[in-house]
């Protein structure tokens, strides 16, 4: 079985750096826990002063409340089918939700406890949210929300996810500056509410330096990083804190390739283009032949790449460089393209020290 | 939370048809259980005379042994790290494995119980296996296997997965005829072993009619089908037996789209090109506004399509046709691109009658 290895030292360093950057910029820090989905990894954030978190579902919110978190933003436009869950949880913790449409308000008339909300503001990503320029739309939503007892407007939330679409610094800067300016405009326009501005995907929070006008950042992926973040310039190879340990189970020629046990049910089918080809992962070293990771995976090689995956099968191409020293049964460490989806599928981590770390999805 | 709905009648009809086709062609039928991964759904096959099954991991083999299956092919080139699992299971059931390299044999010297193996023959897919024309390579593997006590050669296994790469009938026929001819050649070349020929992905087993030279078929996906199989011509819209019920949680204009709660952790990131765009699913009707599915999802509309997914978010584009009658909180039924990966992520099914069906991955 493939094993998702976690380098705890790198993970803690990633946490420390992001918490330090938030403190340096005078920002609150509400990390997104959808990446690791683990009570134990989440608890490591407390050493860096974190007391409020972000999640992407009520299932996750319930899990983290059970491990003691008391201030949770469910960063998803409110789904009316979650009303019972919201009522169950909002008695035990301070729960915030996102809204981007007045049609969700009638469902919230049945709130049992006070709930905060943020307006999801779209600064150009185009996934969810009210367009940040649509002052009338936002005002209508805020006005309509006044009639809903127990629902309290706290500010604006922006996920500028189009930061994932380009590694070009000029494009990334324009995306960030527009989001920052949009949030500043909204804070000014609706200053009578004294609203907060919440912001932050991992690329912008890792790369950008000017956070004027922003109050709180909510990145998630930075806790592990991955090949996609590396390509975007959010991290160095040495910052990537998870790798999949997979057994080589086949070696082939013409073309030269290897089969690993590690497929779409382990890595996910998230792909990216590297060196002109679609890849699902990249080899970053082998273990020491005793099932232990010798040196972690500090040094990225220029491949081989995981270029094909089906349900349980993974195919590594261009294996010439590792062919001589890699036999059937050897374990390779493979960096994932998207650590959030990989962690969600794997359900548990094994640290380099050999400790097992559980998640929301594990069955224990 | 998204719910994976199962139309049990369609599922049983799919089973009955494939079992009937196997019987008509004089083939044994060893369905692949990696698609549904469910003891209950697996048990439905018994009514169609099935007593031997295929799985893709030892974890799956252990699960199905617990529900009484006694003849299981683990259709993956043997991973030496699975030796302890193989020894644990082969005392309780007849276990078969795949081999495609003599380097795996030394690990099998430590078998505790008899184990059958099939040679994985590559007829052109290029994923795993010894090339079917490489008689010398196969002979070397068979000769080397003789020294491994308790290991018994039973025949050849071919997964002609390149059948998924084209909907063109001519190309599909050539892939099938080559595989069939290759298997016939292998049976002749190695006739002293009286080997079986195992074959079968869902496209070939659904579409083809000439199975001369093949002894046993091992398709899996046909139990549910999906949008990919529909595009390949393996099924009709009416045969697709699973759909994801997702709540609409946002409606947007410019461009007109909807947000659903349903993303990569529900559907997987498997995509395909339909109508010139990359899609992750397709809307196939709504529920009756009481949480029940009115008529299943017999009639496919020409969209809207699920064109963007992130971890929990799904974006439906071109929603003009359903916009008037679809509000926030309404449930839509969405057909998945790849039902195997969707079922793996969802971990359970709800039948149209409201029964919950568990899988290997569920936590109960």
A235-291: per-residue pLDDT in tens? 999 999 999 999 999 999 888 899 999 999 999 999 999 888 999 999 987 765 554
Residues of B in contact with A81 (CB under 8 A): 1, 247, 261, 329, 331
Cβ <8 Å between B161 and A310: yes
A147-182: per-residue pLDDT in tens? 999 999 999 999 999 988 888 999 999 999 999 999
Residues of A in contact with B270 (CB under 8 A): 264, 269
Q: DSSP class of residue B78?
A: P
Cβ <8 Å between A344 and B78: no
CA-based nearest distance B170→chain A, Å: 25
Long-range CB contact pairs, A317-320, < 8 A, 24+: A317/A255, A317/A256, A317/A257, A317/A277, A318/A255, A318/A256, A318/A257, A319/A251, A319/A256, A319/A257, A319/A258, A320/A256
Residue B73 neighbours by CB under 8 Å, 6+ apart: B30, B52, B53, B54, B55, B95, B96, B97, B98, B118, B157, B198, B218
B293 band by pLDDT with thresholds 50, 70 and 90: low
A364 band by pLDDT with thresholds 50, 70 and 90: very low
Residues of A in contact with B266 (CB under 8 A): none
Residues of A in contact with B161 (CB under 8 A): 310
Predicted local confidence at residue B364, as pLDDT = 43
Cβ <8 Å between B81 and A327: no
Q: Strands, E, within chain B: which ranges?
A: 3-6, 28-29, 53-55, 71-77, 94-99, 115-122, 130-131, 151-158, 196-199, 216-217, 242-252, 257-261, 272-274, 277-279, 281-286, 305-309, 313-317, 331-336, 348-351, 356-358
Q: Where are the alpha helices (DSSP H) in chain B?
A: 8-24, 39-44, 58-66, 83-90, 135-145, 169-189, 202-207, 227-232, 264-267, 320-323, 339-346
Size of interface A-B (CB pairs under 8 A): 135
B299 band by pLDDT with thresholds 50, 70 and 90: low
Predicted local confidence at residue B322, as pLDDT = 86
From first CA to last CA, the distance across chain B in angstroms is 17
| A123 vs A132: CA distance, rounded Å | 5
Are residues A89 and A59 in contact, defined by beta-carbon separation less than 8 angstroms?
no
- Secondary structure of residue A43 in the 3-state scheme: helix
B163 band by pLDDT with thresholds 50, 70 and 90: confident
What's the length of chain A?
364
Mean pLDDT of A33-59: 98
Are residues A248 and A261 in contact, defined by beta-carbon separation less than 8 angstroms?
no
- When scoring A77, A119, A203, A311 by the number of chain B Cβ atoms within 10 A, the one with the most, hence best to mutate, is A311
Q: Show the domains of chain B with their CATH numbers.
A: 8-224 (3.20.20.10), 237-358 (2.40.37.20)
Q: DSSP class of residue A326?
A: -
For A357: left if phi > 0, alpha if psi spans -120 to 50, otherwise beta; the answer is: beta
Mean pLDDT of B248-277: 94
Q: Which of A127, A313, A328 sits opposite B315 (nearest CB)?
A: A127
Spatial CA neighbour of B157 closest among B135, B179, B178? B179
Sign, CA torsion B133/B134/B136/B138: negative
Above 0.90 for ipTM, yes or no?
A: yes
Predicted local confidence at residue A321, as pLDDT = 81
| A100 vs A126: CA distance, rounded Å | 13
Q: Is the peptide bond before A304 cis (omega within 30 degrees of 0)?
A: yes
User: Which residue of chain A comes nearest to B307, CA vs CA?
Assistant: A127
Q: DSSP class of residue A323?
A: H
Cβ <8 Å between B79 and A312: no
Q: Which of A107, A265, A327 sits opposite B103 (nearest CB)?
A: A327
User: Which residue of chain A comes nearest to B34, CA vs CA?
Assistant: A311
Predicted local confidence at residue A61, as pLDDT = 97
Are residues A262 and A244 in contact, defined by beta-carbon separation less than 8 angstroms?
yes
Are residues B280 and B269 in contact, defined by beta-carbon separation less than 8 angstroms?
yes
Half-sphere exposure of B157 (CA within 13 A, CB side): 25
- When scoring B61, B81, B342 by the number of chain A Cβ atoms within 10 A, the one with the most, hence best to mutate, is B81
User: Which residue of chain B comes nearest to A338, CA vs CA?
Assistant: B311
Mean pLDDT of B81-87: 97
CA-based nearest distance B80→chain A, Å: 5
| B48 vs B22: CA distance, rounded Å | 11
pLDDT at residue A300 greater than cutoff 50: yes
> Among residues of chain B, what percentage have pLDDT more than 70?
95
Residues of B in contact with A78 (CB under 8 A): 249
- Lowest-pLDDT range, A8-12, B151-155, B207-211, B324-328? B324-328
For A233: left if phi > 0, alpha if psi spans -120 to 50, otherwise beta; the answer is: left
Residue A91 neighbours by CB under 8 Å, 6+ apart: A112, A113
User: Which residue of chain B comes nearest to A122, CA vs CA?
Assistant: B252
Predicted local confidence at residue A288, as pLDDT = 58
pTM value?
0.95
Cβ <8 Å between B308 and A57: no
User: Which residue of chain B comes nearest to A120, CA vs CA?
Assistant: B250
| A11 vs A22: CA distance, rounded Å | 17
Q: Max alpha carbon distance in chain A (Å)?
A: 71
Cβ <8 Å between A247 and B312: no
| A143 vs A139: CA distance, rounded Å | 6
Sign, CA torsion B61/B46/B33/B210: positive
How far, in Å, are A19, B37, B56, B358 from residue B61 at the CA level?
45, 10, 8, 16
Sign, CA torsion A333/A339/A341/A343: positive
Residues of A in contact with B317 (CB under 8 A): none
CA-based nearest distance A75→chain B, Å: 10
Residue A43 neighbours by CB under 8 Å, 6+ apart: A67
Cβ <8 Å between A261 and B312: no
A5-43: per-residue pLDDT in tens? 999 999 999 999 999 999 999 999 999 999 999 999 999
Q: Which of A56, A79, A315 sits opposite B249 (nearest CB)?
A: A79
Residues of A in contact with B271 (CB under 8 A): 269
Cβ <8 Å between A57 and B341: no
Residues of A in contact with B76 (CB under 8 A): 249, 261, 312-313
| Residue A153 parent element (H or E) | strand A151-158
Predicted local confidence at residue B285, as pLDDT = 78
Q: Which of A101, A269, A361 sits opposite B270 (nearest CB)?
A: A269
Residue with the larger pLDDT of the pair A204 and B295 = A204
Residue with the larger pLDDT of the pair A349 and A302 = A349
From first CA to last CA, the distance across chain A in angstroms is 17
Residues of B in contact with A270 (CB under 8 A): 264, 269
Spatial CA neighbour of B121 closest among B191, B196, B203, B208? B196
| A360 vs A18: CA distance, rounded Å | 24
Cβ <8 Å between B261 and A76: yes
Both tokens of residue A2? 């493939």
- From the number of C-beta atoms within 10 Å of its C-beta (0-12, 13-18, 19+), residue A66 rates as exposed
| A119 vs A96: CA distance, rounded Å | 11
Both tokens of residue A30? 């509400």
| A178 vs B296: CA distance, rounded Å | 45
A343 band by pLDDT with thresholds 50, 70 and 90: very high
Q: Which of B77, B79, B328 sits opposite A104 (nearest CB)?
A: B328
In this structure, what are the phi and psi dihedrals at residue A6, rounded to the nearest 5 degrees? Answer: -125, 125
CA-based nearest distance B315→chain A, Å: 7
The residue whose two tokens read 């048990």 is B43
Half-sphere exposure of B286 (CA within 13 A, CB side): 18
- Secondary structure of residue B215 in the 3-state scheme: coil
Cβ <8 Å between A59 and B270: no
Residue B313 neighbours by CB under 8 Å, 6+ apart: A76, A127, A128, B259, B260, B261, B263
Rounded mean pLDDT of chain B?
93
pLDDT at residue A294 greater than cutoff 60: no
B164-182: per-residue pLDDT in tens? 888 899 999 999 999 999 9
- Secondary structure of residue B153 in the 3-state scheme: strand
Cβ <8 Å between B261 and A308: no
Mean pLDDT of B302-323: 90
């Amino acid at each position: 079985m493939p094993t998702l290895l976690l380098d705890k030292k790198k993970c803690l360093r990633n946490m420390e750096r992001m918490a330090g950057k938030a403190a340096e910029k005078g920002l609150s820090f509400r990390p997104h826990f959808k990446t690791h989905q683990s009570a134990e990894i989440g608890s490591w954030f407390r050493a860096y002063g974190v007391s409020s978190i972000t999640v992407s579902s009520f299932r996750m919110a319930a899990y983290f409340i059970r491990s003691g978190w008391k201030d949770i933003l469910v960063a998803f436009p409110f789904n009316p089918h979650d009303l019972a869950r919201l009522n169950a949880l909002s008695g035990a913790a301070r729960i915030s939700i996102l809204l981007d449409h007045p049609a969700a308000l009638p469902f919230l008339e049945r709130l049992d406890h006070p709930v905060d909300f943020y307006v999801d503001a779209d600064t150009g990503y185009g996934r969810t949210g009210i367009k940040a320029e649509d002052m009338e739309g936002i005002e209508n939503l805020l006005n309509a929300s006044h009639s809903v007892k127990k629902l309290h407007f706290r500010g604006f939330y922006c996920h500028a996810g189009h930061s994932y679409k380009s590694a070009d610094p000029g494009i990334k800067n324009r995306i960030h500056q527009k989001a920052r300016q949009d949030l500043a405009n909204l804070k000014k326009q609706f200053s009578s509410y004294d609203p907060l501005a919440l912001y932050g995907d991992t690329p912008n929070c890792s790369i950008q330096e000017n956070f004027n006008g922003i109050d709180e950042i909510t990145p998630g992926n930075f806790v592990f990083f991955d090949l996609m973040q590396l390509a975007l310039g959010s991290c160095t190879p040495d910052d990537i804190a998870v790798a999949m340990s997979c057994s080589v189970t086949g070696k082939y020629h013409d073309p030269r390739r290897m089969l690993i046990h590690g497929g779409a049910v382990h890595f996910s089918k998230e792909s990216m283009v590297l060196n002109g080809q679609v890849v699902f992962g990249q080899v970053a070293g082998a273990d020491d032949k005793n099932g232990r990771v010798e040196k972690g995976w500090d040094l990225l090689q220029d491949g081989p790449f995981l270029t094909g995956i089906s349900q349980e099968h993974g195919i590594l191409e261009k294996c010439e460089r590792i062919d001589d020293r890699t036999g059937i049964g050897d374990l390779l460490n493979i960096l994932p393209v998207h650590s959030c989806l990989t962690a969600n599928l794997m359900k548990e981590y094994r640290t380099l020290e050999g400790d097992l770390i559980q998640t929301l999805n594990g069955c224990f």
